[in-house]
Amino acid sequence: MIEPIERIQKVPNRNPDRTFIYFVRSGEFIKIGQSRRWKQRVETMQVGSPHTLIVMLVLKDEPKLEGKLHNWFRADHFRGEWFHSGPALLAYIKKRLPECVSKSDECELKKPTDWDDL
């Protein structure tokens, strides 16, 4: 017998206060964003972008980190969630690479190999 929909339990979110914070490069700009489904978000952004998007870093952290990052890099702010790829922002991304979730089972990410070309 099939159980009524009211009795089916949803799978709980293991970390309801955590999300993915992503850094995506498009031309000379880097977007700092957040999403629980970062891959789908990047795919959606790619459809409307004339540049090939490069995912530089994906972190799993608290959603409020995104706002802190926007504030920290406000000197490089361009528009919305987009920032100029200045030295401070690139240094932050390099520093946090060991924490990138690309090596986990949560996502697969190809990292840039030559930072001088970025």
Model pLDDT, residue 24: 95
Give the integer Cα–Cα distance in Å for 33 and 49: 16
Which of 17-21, 75-79, 110-114 bottoms out in mean pLDDT, i.e. has the lowest?
110-114
Model pLDDT, residue 34: 95
pTM equals 0.74
Q: Are 6 and 56 in contact (CB under 8 A)?
A: no
Give the integer Cα–Cα distance in Å for 27 and 46: 12
Model pLDDT, residue 8: 36
Torsion angles phi and psi, residue 62, rounded to 5? -75, 145
Write down the domain spans for the chain: 33-103
Which position has the higher pLDDT, 65 or 18?
65
**pLDDT tens track for 33-84:** 999 999 899 999 999 888 899 999 999 999 999 999 999 999 999 999 999 9
Cα-atom radius of gyration of the chain, to the nearest Å? 17
**DSSP-assigned states of every residue in 56-112:** EEEEEE-THHHHHHHHHTGGGEEETTEEE--HHHHHHHHHHGGG-GGGSTT---PPP
